[in-house]
Amino acid sequence: MGKPSYLNFDESKYAWKADINYRKNPGSYRVGKGEQGVLICEPYKSEIGRYWRFRTPEIASQSSEKIYALFLAYLKDGDFVGADMARKYLQMGYTRSRRYANYKSGRKYNANEGYQELERGTGDGQKAKSAAIFYDKWKLAESHEIYAAMKKSWKDERG
C-alpha cells in the first residue's frame, strides 16, 4: 500500500482558503466531496466546530443535536454554505468516530513503518455508538428537501 494521500497535499490547488470569510463571500464556496473544507471555511468552522464532540455516545448525541439545530437555522436563514458546513460536521462526526472505533489510536497508518496500515478492530466500541448517532443526523440533513434543492442548485451554478 502506498502512502496516504494527505502526505502529498498541495494547498495551492485546494479549493477552500483560510483567508476567505465564506459568509461574506459565499460565491467562493464549493461543495466538493465529503468533508472537504470543513476545517477551513470561516466563520462556520468556529461557529460549528466548537460543538463537534464524539467521545461518548451521550456527548455525540448532544453534539449532533446542536449541529443539526445549526443546520436547520442556516436553512431557515437561506444560508446554504452554513447548512452544508453543518452537514459536513455531521458527516465528519460519523467518519472520525468510525476511525476510533476501528483503530485504537485513531490513526490508520504507522508513519514509523513506511505508512503501513495498522490493524483494524482495535478500537473503542463506544465510538461505534457515537458514529451511529452522527450517521443518523448526517443522513437526516442530507435528505432534507430544502437542503437537497439548495445543494443541487448550488452545484449546478457554482460547482
Confidence band, pLDDT 50/70/90 cuts, at residue 14: confident
Cβ-based neighbours of 40, under 8 Å, separated by 6 or more: 14, 16, 17, 18
**pLDDT of 33-62, one tens digit each?**
888 889 999 999 999 999 999 999 999 999
Q: Which amino acid is at 132?
A: A
- The pTM assigned to this predicted structure is 0.86
H or E stretch including 73?
Answer: helix 57-76
Whether residue 158 is predicted with pLDDT greater than 90 in this model: the reply is no
Residue 98 main-chain phi, psi, to 5 deg: -65, -40
What pLDDT was estimated at residue 73?
Answer: 98
Residues 81-108, mean pLDDT to the nearest whole number = 88
**Is the confidence at residue 19, as pLDDT, over 80?**
yes
Phi, psi of 16 (to 5 degrees): -105, 140
CB neighbours of residue 104 within 10 Å: 14
Interval 102-154: pLDDT, tens: 877 666 666 766 676 766 666 668 889 999 999 999 999 999 999 999 999 99
Nearest residue to 140 via CA among 80, 81, 59, 86: 86
Helix, strand, or coil here: 30? coil
**What's the whole-number mean pLDDT along residues 59-84?**
98
